[in-house]
Structure 1
Amino acid sequence: MATYAQQLKAVEGQVQSQLSDGRFQHCLRVKDYAIRLAQQNGVDPDQAALAGLVHDYAKERPTEDFLAAIDRHHLDPDLKNWSRAIWHGVVGAYMIKDELGIDDPTILDAVVNHTTGEGVTMSTLAKIVFMADYLELGRDFPGVEEGRRITDQSLDQGVFYQLKETLSFLASQGKLIYPKTFTSYNDWAKHFSS
């Protein structure tokens, strides 16, 4: 079986071919930030790099591709009521497995959860990709430096910080919020209040 480093080298061109240059550069920065967080949190840096590189593999796919994949993989039909913002994680993991041949369940789970988070049972790798996507060095928004500082001290506190900030931002914009994001937030809130 190929090592994570070998898989990384093998799929980089395929990932690049599916994305605009700006999105691909973001994926490279997420890969780099994921390596940093992996080293801080006892996770294989090559595994984190691969997960970071592929996390947005499906981000720019046409709507029809996602709808077809939802049917093909017998996913929850309610997913069709959402958009690429949710699909590229939840459905994108299936595309990564089918098209890139990455079948590591921990990497696929990290991709599924990188936009919505998950409760306190989230794997360390999923937390790393969730935070690397939010904090990569090309990000520049109010609170990003605070997020980096918190995450350097505690990956779990970083996850909770991002969920709080994301919910607040989406609500302030009057945007729909995917139910799993609420569930994730509530689970972390309960965890930190007990």
Structure 2
Amino acid sequence: MSLVDLVTEKLKPYPKRLEHVLGVKERALEFQKIYGGNAEAIETAALLHDYFKYDSIEVQKRYIPANEIEKYQSVPVAYHALSAAYYAKDHLGINDPIVFEAIYYHIWGKTEMKLETMILATADFCEKNRTFSGAKKVYELALKDLQQAFILSLEYTIEYLKKDGINPFYEQIEVLNYYKENTWNY
């Protein structure tokens, strides 16, 4: 079974999520043509990034090492990314560290991330089916400056969380500050 077939089958009950995943793949490969990076790794990570999005937290935690469950217990939304990364590696035999990192950190990136991770995180925020405020602006900026688009996507996300009375996870703030203060070398 191909990876597209596997993801299509898994997300069959959630057609909007499947549309999103395919949109992220398309947008990420568009950015790859501009900025470079490993197209196969980007496509693989894009297809798998939300693989566990609709599974219960308990199911997601089955794939994640205990120390990482504890680290992210205040932001269980991150579990879907972690579980997908470990599932790809441990159950699908995808041992590419680029794919693992891109899936694992697709929500808010990481300091000193690989190009493919920044591409996926940015594409996830601004894929063509996104209708929330800022998605179009991030996309337009990403066509010119990927780092600035990534920063803007984090700023929008943090602003959204704060409006909902949610404190951003400390890694989100660290990553945002890091990329605001450092020129990214990929």
TM-score normalised by L of structure 1: 0.85
| Counterpart Cα distance in 1 of 2:105 and 2:71 | 17
Contact 1:27 1:52 in 2 (8 A): yes
Q: Flag as ranges the 4+ runs of structure 1 deviating above 4 A.
A: none
Tell me whether 1:116 sits opposite 2:108 in the alignment.
yes
**2:145 aligned partner:** 154
Contact 1:90 1:111 in 2 (8 A): yes
**2:28 aligned partner:** 34
Cα-Cα RMSD: 1.7
Letter in 1 for 2:48: V
**1:82 aligned partner:** 75
Tell me whether 1:184 sits opposite 2:160 in the alignment.
no
Give the deviation of 1:91 after TM superposition: 2.9
**1:91 aligned partner:** 83
Give the deviation of 1:88 after TM superposition: 0.9
Letter in 1 for 2:17: R
Give the deviation of 1:17 after TM superposition: 2.1
| Counterpart Cα distance in 2 of 1:78 and 1:125 | 24
| Counterpart Cα distance in 2 of 1:12 and 1:33 | 16
Question: In the TM superposition, what whole-angstrom CA distance separates every residue of 1:122-177 from its partner, at most 9, and x where no partner exists?
Answer: 11000110011111100112222211121111111111111111111111111242
Contact 2:108 2:175 in 1 (8 A): yes
Give the deviation of 1:61 after TM superposition: 1.4
Give the deviation of 1:30 after TM superposition: 0.5
| Counterpart Cα distance in 2 of 1:62 and 1:178 | 21
Contact 1:135 1:147 in 2 (8 A): yes
Residue range with higher mean Cα deviation, 151-160 or 58-67: 58-67
Contact 2:127 2:135 in 1 (8 A): no
Q: Which has a greater percent of helix? A: 1
Give the deviation of 1:110 after TM superposition: 0.5
**1:143 aligned partner:** 134
| Counterpart Cα distance in 1 of 2:93 and 2:4 | 13
Give the deviation of 1:59 after TM superposition: 1.0
Tell me whether 1:24 sits opposite 2:18 in the alignment.
yes
Q: Share of identical aligned residues, percent?
A: 25
Letter in 2 for 1:80: Q
DSSP-derived class of the 1:122 partner: coil
CA gap 1:80/1:142 in 2 versus in 1, 3 angstroms: closer
| Counterpart Cα distance in 1 of 2:17 and 2:153 | 21
DSSP-derived class of the 1:153 partner: coil
Gaps of 5+ in 2: none
CA gap 1:51/1:117 in 2 versus in 1, 3 angstroms: same
Letter in 1 for 2:8: Q
| Counterpart Cα distance in 2 of 1:187 and 1:36 | 25
DSSP-derived class of the 2:67 partner: coil
Give the deviation of 1:55 after TM superposition: 0.9
